[in-house]
């Protein structure tokens, strides 16, 4: 009975386990999963929320503050009695309460600069988040394409192995009837062993690339991946004419990391203005209302109630202003100004460095794109020639006008040409995405 139950459980659970372990994923789905699970994006999202809070805090600095206080005390011991002008032992109870408010009238325009700095920091965080999304998208796409490439290379290796094993059977049969020398059998067995080694290496490379893709997607439920992508024949391999100057101009206009650095400069510029404002006086206005109660308070010999004291007779009101003029601050203000100025200059230099970096990246991507376009043409010609050479050598071998070594060499050249062609195709697809990445115009809905 228990064995039947176990068999039933295995029957129903096995498909579910296989489904949880192996999953067919398109490139767009892989990118969406990575964007949802990436911890750096989640951290950046938290930073964006904090930037919003800082902006609201800077806006609130223009408003007056408001505080309330309430205190009580009980005093026991010898005390001065004002009515009798004497000292005596007493126990007194007192209560005090009040409301205070103040507002900054002038602080050297620091509050304005602080708000502008907070807004610039928020804009910079938003652009950094956008560039981080592009990084995740690009890395996911590159790893996905590597998996697809390794799958294609593995198929070529497996097909080559099957052909080698079939050739081995033919050679063995020919050797047995004396139509071929024994050395051909040994050579073909060596070729089959080399092809088996290639298959093992391709399988390992495929598993490593899958593990790297799963790692960037950060989904524990996925343990194996089945890619879903158009075949090589369905891929768009139409090169486009590109202008290097236009590409650089487009990158300098669209790259979010460059615009983020510009907002960093604005933030440091406002910090510099805040530091210089420390040289100017500060004016604050304040107002308060308070009340107190004491159980010893009397009027014409009679005790006064709490409500009469606290809400009428013992109520005090005040209004005033405060001016603070910095005269000597032990050169702290000067140090702060110099420090803020250095940070501003460094951020401006960093902007120049980002510009040069973007220009260099686009130039390199442009050069690689032109090179891979030429590789597409070259590998296509090489594949056609290697295929014809292998077919011709195979026909010659069948009629006995060629050796097995020459046939295996032609086969090796044909396999090498196939591998080069596949790699050139996927490198071309990758290079197009690399150009979009360096131009700052990646899209989650990548279409090949």
- pLDDT tens track for 16-59: 444 445 668 888 889 999 999 999 999 999 999 999 999 999 99
Q: Could you report the per-residue pLDDT of 208-259, keeping only the tens digit for each?
A: 999 999 999 988 888 888 887 777 666 777 788 889 999 999 999 999 999 9
- How far is residue 288's CA from residue 276's CA, in Å, rounded to a whole number? 32
Domains of the chain: 22-63+109-280+331-439 (1.20.1600.10), 68-106+281-325 (2.20.200)
Whole-model pTM: value is 0.81
Tokens of 310: 């606290």
Across the strands, what pairs with 23? 225
- C-beta of residue 143 within 8 angstroms of C-beta of residue 206: no
Residue 250 neighbours by CB under 8 Å, 6+ apart: 439, 441
- How far is residue 286's CA from residue 153's CA, in Å, rounded to a whole number? 78
Burial of 185 (0-12, 13-18, 19+ CB in 10 A): middle
Across the strands, what pairs with 293? 95
Q: What is the 8-class DSSP label of residue 63?
A: S
- How far is residue 42's CA from residue 110's CA, in Å, rounded to a whole number? 32
Q: Could you report the per-residue pLDDT of 346-397, keeping only the tens digit for each?
A: 999 999 999 999 999 999 999 999 999 999 899 999 999 999 998 998 888 8
């Amino acid at each position: 009975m228990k064995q039947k139950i176990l068999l039933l459980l295995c029957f129903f659970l096995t498909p579910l386990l296989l489904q949880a372990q192996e999953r067919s994923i398109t490139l767009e789905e892989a990118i969406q999963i990575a964007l949802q699970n990436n911890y750096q994006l989640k951290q950046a999202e938290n930073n964006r929320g904090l930037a919003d809070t800082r902006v609201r805090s800077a806006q609130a600095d223009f408003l007056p503050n408001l505080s309330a206080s309430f205190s009580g005390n009980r005093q026991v011991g010898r005390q001065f009695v004002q009515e009798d002008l004497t000292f005596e032992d007493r126990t007194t109870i007192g209560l005090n309460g009040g409301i205070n408010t103040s507002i900054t009238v002038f602080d050297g325009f620091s509050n304005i600069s602080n708000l502008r700095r907070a807004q610039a920091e928020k804009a910079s965080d938003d652009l950094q988040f956008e560039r981080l999304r592009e990084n995740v998208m690009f890395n996911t796409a590159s790893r996905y394409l590597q998996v697809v490439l390794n799958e294609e290379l593995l198929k070529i290796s497996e097909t080559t192995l099957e052909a080698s094993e079939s050739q081995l059977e033919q050679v063995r049969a020919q050797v047995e009837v004396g139509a071929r020398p024994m050395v051909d059998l040994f050579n073909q067995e060596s070729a089959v062993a080399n092809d088996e080694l290639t298959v093992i290496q391709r399988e390992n490379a495929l598993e490593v690339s899958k593990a790297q893709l799963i790692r960037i997607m950060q989904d524990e439920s996925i343990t194996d991946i089945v890619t879903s992508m158009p075949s090589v024949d369905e891929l768009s391999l139409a090169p486009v004419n590109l202008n290097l100057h236009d590409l650089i101009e487009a990158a300098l206009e669209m790259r979010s990391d460059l615009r983020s650095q510009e907002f960093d400069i604005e933030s440091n510029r406002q910090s510099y203005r805040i530091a210089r404002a420390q040289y100017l006086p500060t004016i604050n206005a304040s107002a308060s209302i308070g009340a107190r109660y004491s159980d010893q308070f009397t009027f014409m010999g009679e005790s006064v109630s709490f409500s009469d004291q606290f809400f009428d007779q013992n109520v005090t009101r005040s209004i005033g202003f405060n001016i603070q003029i910095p005269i000597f601050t032990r050169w702290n203000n000067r140090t702060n100004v110099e420090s803020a100025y250095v940070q501003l200059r460094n951020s401006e230099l960093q902007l120049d460095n980002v510009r040069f970096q973007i220009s260099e990246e686009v130039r390199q991507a442009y050069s690689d794109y032109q090179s891979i376009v030429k590789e597409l043409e070259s590998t296509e010609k090489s594949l056609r020639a290697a295929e014809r050479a292998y077919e011709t050598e195979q026909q010659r071998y069948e009629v006995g006008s060629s050796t097995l070594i020459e046939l295996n060499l032609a086969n090796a050249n044909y396999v090498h040409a196939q591998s080069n062609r596949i790699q050139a195709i996927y490198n071309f697809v990758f290079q197009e995405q690399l150009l979009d990445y360096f131009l700052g115009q990646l899209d989650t809905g990548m279409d090949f």
